[in-house]
Amino acid sequence: MKPCHVIWDWNGTLMDDAWLCVEIVNELLMRRGLAPTTPCKYSEVFGFPLRTYYQRVGFDLEREDFAATGDEFNILYGQRLRECRLREGARKVLTALGRSGIGQSLLSASYEVDLEEIVAHYGLRSHFTAVAGVDNGLGEGKIERGHRHLAELNCQSDEVLLVGDTLHDIEVAAALGVPCVLLPSGHQSRRRLELGECTVVDGLFAVAALLGLKGDIHD
């Protein structure tokens, strides 16, 4: 597999933030007197649309507004976001792909302005030809944004690979007509990912190996 371009998801795929999402959702649940979740339980209920996930984790969206709850989460997440680290091998794999001539970009369900800011914080912006996020804080519109993003790439759809960490990334890839590879991140369990018709690999170095990148990438 040697694509012309790799479209990376951000949260969970390149940045390790599942642990933070668990801590924040537990704070919100405890504010409401609800039982907290665990990383294992979280990985079995998290998904898109986010409204469904919020209900599964314990919020009563018949009694409170989903958008307001999402805003509450996003405020706490934004305050602690820079506590997160990149996933193992992220810098080396992005550099290796660039050197091999493979184009790279980001496609995320994160608010695009915030996405640009955090990517710049990690010093990764130069790796990507584009950073494409959505225009809301509710994780909605990734497929629509993906269509616009794909149209801007100078590649055929079968020459593009999408790399993500959730079943929603399979849905996005299918809608765009591109192949997809998933890696477990803590947002969804490997068991759930393997239910999708998609290649599942363990970590970013495994993605590089799948793309035929060898040599000293692990050093």
Token couple for 151: 């149209």
* pLDDT at residue 2, rounded to an integer: 83
In DSSP notation, the chain reads ---SEEEE--BTTTEE-HHHHHHHHHHHHHHTTPPP--HHHHHHH--SSHHHHHHHHT--TTTS-HHHHHHHHHHHHHHHGGG-EEPTTHHHHHHHHHHTT-EEEEEEEEEHHHHHHHHHHTT-GGG-S-EEEESSSSS--HHHHHHHHHHHSSS-GGGEEEEESSHHHHHHHHHHT--EEE---SSS-HHHHTTSSSEE-SSHHHHHHHTT--SSTT-
Q: Which of 206, 167, 199, 203 is nearest to 184 (CA)?
A: 203
| pLDDT tens-digit map of 129-170 | 999 999 988 888 999 999 999 999 988 899 999 999 999 999
Type of residue at 74: N
**Could you report how far apart the first and last alpha carbons of the chain are, in Å?**
23
pLDDT at 55: 97
> pLDDT at residue 38 above 70?
yes
Residue 204, pLDDT score: 96
The pLDDT, as a whole number, for residue 218 is 56
Determine contact, residues 86/10, Cβ cutoff 8 Å. no
pLDDT tens, position by position, 162-209: 999 999 999 999 999 999 999 999 999 999 999 998 999 999 999 999
Q: Is 183 left (phi over 0), alpha (psi -120 to 50) or beta?
A: beta
* pLDDT given at position 133: 95
Average confidence (pLDDT) over 42-52: 96
What digits encode the pLDDT tens for the residues 75-127?
Answer: 999 999 999 999 999 999 999 999 999 999 999 999 999 999 999 999 999 99
